[in-house]
C-alpha cells in the first residue's frame, strides 16, 4: 500500500488534475488574439456622441444635414462640412468648402493625408480622432460605448443618452424649423405582472416591448428605456399627428398580444403621451419632456390603454 502511494504523481502547484492547462502553440495564440487587418475609424472625443466609433470605408461625409453619413449638430458645422475618403496611399481628410473651416492637429486644411492618431477639429466643440484599429479595438470601443449609453436589460439607449441627444435634436429642430416629436410610453399595471408571474417574466415583457418599439420606428428615430417600465421615442422630422399615429399603432399591437407566446394568458396595455415641436411654446428639451409626460398622465387619467397629445383637447 505504501509502495503504491509513492508511485502516484504529485499534484503540480496551482493546478488540479480535473482542470489541466491546455498547451497552445504560438501561432494559435497569435491567430486567436490578434487581428492583422487594420481598419480606419473616427472616434468622437469632443462634442455630441462622445465615445462613439465610426467606421470609414471608401468615403464618409460629415456635417449637419440629415442626409450625410455622420451627422453632427454643432452650430459652427456646415451642412456638408468635411469628408474622409480612401486614396491610393491611405485615407485623406478634405474640407468641403465649409464656412468655418476644418483643422488637423490645430492647422487649417483643404485636404490632407491622415495618420493614425490625428485629431480633426471643426465647428465649436467637435473633435474627431482618426484611428487605424483592428477588430479587437473596434469590439472593445463599441462595448465601452454601449455599456455607458445602453440599457443592460433591453439594449435600448438609456435615459442619459436620451437627455444628451434630445438637447441636440431640439436645438436642430428649432434652428431649422423642422418638426420633432417625443413619445413617452408607460406599461399599465406593470406591478401586477411582476406580482403574478415573477420578475424574470417581467424582464422578458420589457425586452419584448423594446423589440416592438424597434420594429415600429424608422432607422433615424431613437428608442430608449426611460426608466422602470417607461420608454421614450424621439421621432425626427415628424409632426405631432404622425407621432400620435405611431404611438397608437404600438399601443394596439401590444394590446392584441400575446406578448409572450408561452404565456398566452398574459395580456397588457400601455399608455402614451406625445409632444412635438414646433408649437405650443415649447422651446427646450426639458419643456418637451415635461409636455410629453403631462400628456402621458392625461392618458392614464383617461382610463389607460390610450394616447394623448400635448396641446390637443382630450376628447376621450
Cβ proximity of 166 and 48 under 8 Å: no
Output the nine-digit C-alpha cell for 194: 411582476
> Does the annotation count 229 as an active-site position?
yes
Catalytic entry in 229, 241, 281, 287:
229
Tell me which residues are annotated as active site: 229
Amino acid at each position: 500500500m505504501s509502495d503504491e502511494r509513492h508511485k502516484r504523481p504529485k499534484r503540480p502547484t496551482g493546478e488540479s488534475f480535473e482542470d489541466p492547462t491546455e498547451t497552445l502553440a504560438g501561432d494559435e495564440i497569435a491567430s486567436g488574439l490578434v487581428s492583422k487587418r487594420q481598419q480606419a475609424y473616427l472616434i468622437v472625443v469632443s462634442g455630441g456622441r462622445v465615445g462613439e466609433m465610426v467606421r470609414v470605408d471608401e468615403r464618409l461625409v460629415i456635417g449637419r444635414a440629415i442626409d450625410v453619413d455622420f451627422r453632427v449638430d454643432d452650430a459652427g458645422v456646415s451642412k456638408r462640412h468635411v469628408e474622409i475618403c480612401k486614396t491610393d496611399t491611405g485615407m485623406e481628410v478634405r474640407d468641403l468648402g465649409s464656412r468655418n473651416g476644418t483643422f488637423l492637429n490645430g492647422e487649417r486644411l483643404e485636404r490632407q493625408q491622415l495618420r493614425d492618431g490625428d485629431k480633426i477639429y471643426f465647428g465649436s466643440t467637435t473633435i474627431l480622432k482618426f484611428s487605424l484599429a483592428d477588430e479587437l479595438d473596434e469590439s472593445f470601443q463599441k462595448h465601452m460605448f454601449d455599456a455607458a449609453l445602453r440599457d443592460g436589460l433591453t439594449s435600448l439607449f438609456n435615459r442619459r443618452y436620451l437627455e444628451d441627444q434630445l438637447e441636440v435634436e431640439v436645438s436642430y429642430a428649432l434652428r431649422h424649423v423642422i418638426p420633432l416629436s417625443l413619445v413617452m410610453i408607460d406599461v399599465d399595471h406593470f406591478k401586477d405582472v411582476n406580482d403574478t408571474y415573477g420578475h424574470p417574466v417581467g424582464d422578458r415583457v420589457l425586452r419584448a416591448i423594446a423589440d416592438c418599439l424597434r420594429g415600429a420606428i424608422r432607422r433615424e428615430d431613437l428608442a430608449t428605456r426611460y426608466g422602470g417600465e417607461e420608454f421614450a421615442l424621439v421621432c425626427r422630422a415628424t409632426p405631432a399627428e404622425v407621432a400620435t399615429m405611431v404611438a397608437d399603432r404600438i399601443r394596439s399591437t401590444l394590446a392584441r398580444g400575446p406578448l409572450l407566446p408561452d404565456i398566452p394568458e398574459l395580456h397588457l396595455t400601455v399608455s402614451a403621451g406625445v409632444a412635438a415641436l414646433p408649437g405650443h411654446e415649447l422651446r427646450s428639451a426639458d419643456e418637451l419632456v415635461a409636455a410629453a409626460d403631462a400628456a402621458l398622465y392625461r392618458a392614464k387619467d383617461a382610463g389607460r390603454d390610450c394616447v394623448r397629445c400635448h396641446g390637443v383637447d382630450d376628447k376621450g
